[in-house]
Structures are given as C-alpha cells and as structure tokens.
Amino acid sequence: MDYIIILLLISSLLLLPLLLFLPLSTQAQWQFIPIPPPSSENNNFSIMHKNKNGHIPPIIELLNKSLIIGKNVIKVQIDDNNTVAYGKLEYEDPITKVYKTLDLIRHQGALYEALLDAHVSTMNLKIIAGDVNNNTSVLTKKIFVFALNDPLSQLSNFFSTLLSRIGWIH
C-alpha cells in the first residue's frame, strides 16, 4: 500500500511541470484558405451564344493518321461558325464488344482530344459534334492500329492493359 502512495506521489511530481508549462507552449494558429481562381477555358466549352443564321453544321477532321497498341490521344479538329456545344467519340471495345462513348475535351482553339485504349489492328471511330443551334455532324473513320517496336513498351502496355481490365487502374 505504501508503494502505491509513493508511486502516485512521484508520478504527480513528474507531471506537474508538464501541466504548468503546457498551456504556455501551445498556441492555436489558423489561416484563411485562398479562394481558387476561376477555371480556365481550356477544359470547358466556351460560353454558348446562339447565332440566328447558323444553319451550317460543324466540320470534323480526325488528325490522327494511325494509332499504336495501347493508350493513344485522339486529336480532332472541330470547326464551326457557331459555338461548339459538344464533341463525342464512339468506338467498339474489341474485348467486350460493347460500344463506348468518350467525351472530347477542348484542348486549344478548335482542337479537341480524348484518350483511347487501342488493342486491335483496326478500329472504327465515330466522331459526333454539335453546336448551340442543334446542328450536328458525324464523321466515321477506320483507323489502323500498329504494334510497338520496342519490347519494353510492349510489356508496359500489356501490364497496364491487364491491370485496367481487372480494375486496378482506371
């Protein structure tokens, strides 16, 4: 019993300086979180204004001449007198045989891009663009997909594709 009292007395003497100086050594600090800047126009479609005389549909041009097996950036030029409202890329997934749709993201001016994963020797791409006056254009192209020449890139693309198919990488 005496040992417990001595132990409590020693522990309280050791904790006493901490309890006295702890409130003096800590300070609460705070800061303002800055307001984020307005989003850039690069990833958004520009402000949509309807043109009363706009009966001409957008002109679509696929800039890629060929693809390689693996991930590719599809570059599309969409020219229109009116503001482009949307751009989409449709293709058939060669493994699941399901048609998939990708949004074309405005990169710069009239240049739009999408990321496409290619795995077969040819792909049928369907590009759809529309403007604010509900004029639409469709471009269908068959594009060749070539194998990579260096083995390290082939191996990297193989594992990237394998992991994305099982759900580890999206």
In the CATH hierarchy, which top-level class contains the domain 59-166? Answer: mainly beta
What φ, ψ does residue 42 adopt, rounded to 5°? -65, -35
Whether 170 and 161 have beta carbons less than 8 Å apart is answered as no
pLDDT tens-place string over residues 21-38: 555 544 545 555 566 666
Length of the chain measured in residues: 170
Q: β-strand 111-118 against 136-146: which pairing, if any? A: unpaired
Residue 47 has pLDDT above 50, yes or no: no
Which range is least confidently modeled, 12-16, 26-30, 77-81, 104-108?
A: 26-30
Model's pTM, two decimal places? 0.59
Sequence spans of domains, the chain: 59-166
Q: Among 144, 147, 150, 161, which residue's Cα sits nearest to residue 64?
A: 144
Q: Among 13, 42, 162, which residue's Cα sits nearest to residue 111?
A: 42
